[in-house]
């Protein structure tokens, strides 16, 4: 993968900013509480660095969704299990069992729906911005170690490079510990399509 | 005790004492080689089955077919004997089964490619913990070749 210019990374961060802002608004509406987000970061990382970024063995309740069409890639939402439980308590009051470290089928399907709604609003913002058509898959869910989850979004990048573009933002609720991390992992071919759609000339060093 | 960490698409070889470890194998496969006579071990965290699918430069540790010869080379440089090498495999899970995508079934293909690469180099597989739906963290004890496999939900077992 060629190195990106500072300007191109700024463009990617702005894409992340617009997408994550829409996702944050959706989460806020869904839970009826205020949810804020950090300024997203767009960077090119080696696979080993991506593993370190989220803690090599840190366990997350995750949703994973592939998108296809004129842009390809994946959107991953990571919540620490206790944060996922806090979120589910807001969505399913009186139903969530805090004592259980595992998740019930109902809790999983609610998480899956959260992933669906957040990724859906992220992608529709991306689609509006670029005029490119994007179709998301059904989201998958898992309770597992961070790198084992994120690697599913890096497979395309792995074929062409030892690095991948990672655009991530943190979400956090006021007073509630519902913090999570939202990742956009564009497939390598999607980057050229994004830049072209936005009229960004490739003035990177090839 | 020294623990050498192997990242995604990375590999390492070392002699006892100490351990080699890689964390968060999902669809990836941990290929572990060991020479018990010389107490030399190696571990690769491969991400994809076949370097033939790669475009551009190939990083040996990323693919099953290139990681195995590179591990052998590194271990021989430390004094291991090729004819004494045995292998253990872990990983190759299929997480996110709700997502209907052939591309995500890469775990199974990684396991098959790892087995084929070991067969091509006449290295017997002593033990395997592969497939399923859970991620794994593995740690090789260079003293005796034991491979500890841990999942987030089901604790640890020794291979």
Residue A203, pLDDT above cutoff 60: no
- Chain centroid, CA B49 distance in Å: 12
Q: What is the mean pLDDT of chain A?
A: 88
User: What ipTM was reported for this prediction?
Assistant: 0.90
For chain A, the domains span 6-197
| Closest chain A C-alpha to B79 CA, distance in angstroms | 28
- A206 falls in which pLDDT band (50, 70, 90)? very low
For an interface test with B, which of A152, A154, A156, A164 has the most B Cβ atoms less than 10 Å from its Cβ? A152
CB A66 within 8 A of CB A74: yes
Give the tens place of pLDDT for each residue, A87-97.
898 888 877 76
Of B59, B69, B63, B159, the residue nearest B110 (C-alpha)? B63
Task: Say whether residue B83 is in contact with chain A using an 8 A CB cutoff.
Answer: no
Could you tell me the fold of the domain covering A6-197?
Chemotaxis protein chec (3.40.1550)
Query: What is the DSSP pairing of strand B19-25 with strand B3-6?
Result: parallel
Give A69: exposed, middle or buried? Use CB within 10 Å, 0-12, 13-18, 19+. Answer: middle
Contact yes or no for A66/A136 (Cβ under 8 A) = yes
C-beta separation of A191 from A73 below 8 A: no
pLDDT-derived band at A200 (thresholds 50, 70, 90) equals confident
The pLDDT, as a whole number, for residue A205 is 42
- C-alpha closest to that of B134 among B100, B95, B98: B95
Percent of all residues in chain A with a pLDDT value above 70, rounded to a whole number: 94
Q: How many CB atoms lie within 10 A of CB A102?
A: 11
Q: What is the dihedral of CA B153, B154, B157, B159, to 10 degrees?
A: -80
Identify the pLDDT of residue A204.
Answer: 46
The stretch B26-44 carries a mean pLDDT of 97
Confidence class for position B159, pLDDT limits 50, 70, 90: very high
CATH of domain B3-158: 3.30.1330.200
Q: Which one of A135, A137, A158, A189 makes the best mutation probe of the B interface by having the most chain B beta carbons within 10 Å?
A: A158
**CB distance B62–A51 less than 8 Å?**
no
* Min Cα–Cα distance to chain B from A167, Å: 19
User: What is the predicted pLDDT for the residue at A176?
Assistant: 60
């Amino acid at each position: 993968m060629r190195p990106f210019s500072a300007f191109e990374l700024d463009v990617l961060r702005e894409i992340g900013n617009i997408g994550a802002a829409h996702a944050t608004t959706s989460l806020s509406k869904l839970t009826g509480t205020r949810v804020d987000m950090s300024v997203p970061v767009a960077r090119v990382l080696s696979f080993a660095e991506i593993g370190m970024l989220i803690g090599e063995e840190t366990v997350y309740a995750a949703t994973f969704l592939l998108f296809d069409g004129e842009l390809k890639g994946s959107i991953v939402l990571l919540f620490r299990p206790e944060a996922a439980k806090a979120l589910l308590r807001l969505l399913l009051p009186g139903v969530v069992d805090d004592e259980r470290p595992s998740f019930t089928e109902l809790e999983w399907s609610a998480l899956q729906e959260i992933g669906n709604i957040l990724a859906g609003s992220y992608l529709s913002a991306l689609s509006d911005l670029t005029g490119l058509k994007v179709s998301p898959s059904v989201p998958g869910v898992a309770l597992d170690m961070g790198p084992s989850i994120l690697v599913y979004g890096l497979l395309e990048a792995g074929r062409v490079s030892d690095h991948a573009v990672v655009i991530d933002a943190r979400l956090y609720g006021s007073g509630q510990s519902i913090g999570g991390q939202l990742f956009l992992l564009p497939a390598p071919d999607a980057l050229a399509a994004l830049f072209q759609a936005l009229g960004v000339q490739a003035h990177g060093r090839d | 005790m020294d623990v050498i960490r192997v990242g995604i698409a990375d590999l390492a070889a070392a002699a006892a004492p100490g351990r080699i470890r890689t964390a968060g194998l999902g669809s990836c496969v941990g290929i572990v080689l060991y020479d018990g006579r010389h107490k030399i071990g190696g571990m690769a965290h491969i991400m994809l089955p076949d370097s033939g699918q790669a475009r551009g430069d190939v990083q040996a540790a990323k693919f099953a077919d290139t990681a195995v010869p590179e591990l052998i080379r590194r271990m021989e440089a430390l004094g291991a004997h090729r004819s004494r090498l045995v292998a253990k495999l872990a990983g190759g899970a299929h997480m996110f089964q709700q997502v209907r995508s052939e591309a995500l079934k890469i775990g199974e293909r990684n396991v098959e490619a790892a087995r084929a690469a070991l067969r091509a180099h006449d290295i017997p597989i002593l033990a395997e913990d592969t497939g399923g739906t859970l991620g794994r963290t593995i740690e090789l004890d260079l003293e005796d070749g034991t491979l500890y496999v841990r999942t987030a939900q089901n604790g640890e077992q020794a291979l």
